[in-house]
Amino acid sequence: MTIRHLFVVLTLISITNIIYAQGRDDGSFYSRYGVGELVSFASSQAQALGGASAGLFSYNYMNFSNPGTWSRQTLVRVAIGAQFHRLEALDAVGRSEQFTRGNFNAIQIGVPLIAGKLGMGVSYEPFSRIHYQVSTNNSVSVSPREGEFAYRVNHEGSGGLHQARIGLGFKLTSWASIGATADILFGIIEEGRRTTFERLDLLETNLVNTTRLFGVSSTAGVTLSFDSEEYEFVTTLTATLPTSLDGTRNLTLGESLNVDTLETSTDGTLELPTKLLGGVAFSYQNRWLISTEVRYEPWSSASTTVPLNAFNSTYLRDRVRYSMGVEFIPAGASLQSSYLSRTAYRLGFYRDRLYVSPVPGRDVVVTAITGGLGLPTLFFGTRVDLSFEIGTRGSTNYNLIRDRFIGVSATLNIGERWFVKRRLG
């Protein structure tokens, strides 16, 4: 890797952090619960296929949901993407609001250590996001003499967990590959409650719960592929070990007081459940690709001694996510066809039962359709992927909220040979 390459990667990291920072506090209210809204980004290809990533086994994309696919690399790959999200939330009494935000998806780097045999993957991506703001105007009666005191309470949450991952994928046989990663989970969850009174003789309070979490996990995957000249059939299984995150929680009081720590910090542990991911993909003549995936995460067994909203068995649900997608490239593997023929056209859908619900016993389900384009560039191995998703999250039953969202994302997938030995002729 040259200095220029390093410079580009570092610049991308800093820019994506700016994007991420700008996208705080203006998303779904459901992100208030548990550790926030879970996020996963296997690849930009998978994103447009409804997230059905498990079985994707490609030379053109690194599949970060399954390290068992990382053996199939011949180029150094860097993928970085960002997303633009628009959300319309409606609650049970008819209040609605629209939110817009931008955030980064991930930075992913794949390096072929032995081309087509052993590959390494490194990524940094969000694991969960908390980004909500809710406010209300209210009044309180202090006494008949004092009358009503008007005030405003602003609830806001931000932060989330991040995941840094490094791992290897190894081709065992012509039809079997395995891989494993070490995953570092870390992050800060901030939940604030700001109370402001109209009267000047009353103090503004800003109570902020800050929870810092850190833990290490591991993911292992196995990929079986059976192919001929015309087709390839891939089936995979990935498992992430239960993860124990060490947490520290501080409650602080800010603003107009000169004392700002209410309590000493509280230490605890957050136990995340096992994650199982299975998928099947079938490709035909390098033109057609069908991918399906099932994800299962038994969150009802999760527990915490660090207080988090609704993080207990009453509210936690077992997460089940189904997804499926289809990709069509008219030109197949041909590099001589027209631009439109070399473009990948993708369509998919998913259904995701969230791992936590604000109302006990009630599921919150996300359903969405996805799609996108994989645009070839003038540079061999490099593509720009555009994708979208349109869906709903939850319903207005049981005082819940229905989110309608539309997301548009763009990801740059750079593929180059970085480690070529120069030969004197």
Partner 1 sequence: MRSFPFFFFFVGLLVLTSCSDPVSDVGLDLLEDETSARIETIAPTSFSASSRVDLTAQAPRVLVGSVDDPVAGLISASGYIDFEGTFAGSPSEEITSARLIFTQDYSYGDTLSTVEFTLHQILSEWDASEVESSSSLRTSEAIATTFVLGNRTIIDLPESWIQEHEDDLKSTDFENAFHGFALVGSTGDQVLGFNTRGSTSTFELTSASGTTSYTVSSTYTQVDRMSPAQPPSGFLLFQDGSGPGIEMIFDFESFDSEPINGAIFSFPAFTLTDFPTPDHFVRTAPDSLQLFAVPMDESIQPFGIAVARMDEGAYRFASSILSAFVQNLLFGAQEIQHLELRAPPANHSLDAILFHSKDSGDFAPTLTMILPP
Q: Tell me if 118 sits within 8 A of 68, measured CB to CB.
A: no
Would strands 205-227 and 231-240 be described as parallel, antiparallel, or unpaired? antiparallel
Least distance between partner 1 and beta carbon 358 (Å): 5
The residue among 100 and 338 lying less far from partner 1, judged by its C-beta, is 100
Q: Tell me if 178 sits within 8 A of 66, measured CB to CB.
A: no
Distance CA 222, CA 181 (A): 12
The residue among 82 and 368 lying less far from partner 1, judged by its C-beta, is 82
The residue among 262 and 333 lying less far from partner 1, judged by its C-beta, is 262
Least distance between partner 1 and beta carbon 53 (Å): 22
Least distance between partner 1 and beta carbon 163 (Å): 21
Distance CA 183, CA 201 (A): 50
Give the torsion sign (CA, 181, 308, 367, 79): negative
The residue among 145 and 422 lying less far from partner 1, judged by its C-beta, is 145
SS3 category, 33: coil
Least distance between partner 1 and beta carbon 176 (Å): 34
Least distance between partner 1 and beta carbon 204 (Å): 7
Distance CA 52, CA 175 (A): 21
Nearest C-alpha neighbor of 260 from the set 268, 251, 269 = 251
Distance CA 191, CA 194 (A): 10
The residue among 81 and 391 lying less far from partner 1, judged by its C-beta, is 81
The residue among 154 and 337 lying less far from partner 1, judged by its C-beta, is 154
The residue among 133 and 301 lying less far from partner 1, judged by its C-beta, is 133
Tell me, what amino acid is at 128?
S
| Residues 6+ away with beta carbon under 8 Å from 210 | 188, 189, 190, 249, 250, 251, 252
Least distance between partner 1 and beta carbon 394 (Å): 11
The residue among 171 and 249 lying less far from partner 1, judged by its C-beta, is 249
Least distance between partner 1 and beta carbon 150 (Å): 10
Task: Give the DSSP letter string of 148-197.
Answer: EEEEEEEEEEEEEEEEEEEEEEEE-SSSEEEEEEEEEEEEEEEEEEEEEE
The residue among 96 and 338 lying less far from partner 1, judged by its C-beta, is 96
Tell me, what amino acid is at 42?
A
Least distance between partner 1 and beta carbon 64 (Å): 19
Least distance between partner 1 and beta carbon 310 (Å): 10
As a whole number of angstroms, the longest Cα–Cα distance in the chain is: 97
- 422: phi then psi, degrees, rounded to nearest 5: -80, 140
Tell me, what amino acid is at 220?
A
Least distance between partner 1 and beta carbon 210 (Å): 15
Q: Tell me if 248 sits within 8 A of 267, measured CB to CB.
A: yes
Token pair in block for residue 409 = 């994302």
Task: Give the DSSP letter string of 225-287.
Answer: EEE-SSEEEEEEEEEE--EEEEEEEEEEEEES-S--B-S--EEEEEEEPPEEEEEEEEEETTT
Distance CA 118, CA 112 (A): 6
Distance CA 250, CA 218 (A): 28
Distance CA 238, CA 418 (A): 29
The residue among 2 and 228 lying less far from partner 1, judged by its C-beta, is 2
Least distance between partner 1 and beta carbon 93 (Å): 7
The residue among 224 and 386 lying less far from partner 1, judged by its C-beta, is 386
The helix or strand, by DSSP H or E, that contains position 344, with its residue range, turns out to be: strand 344-353
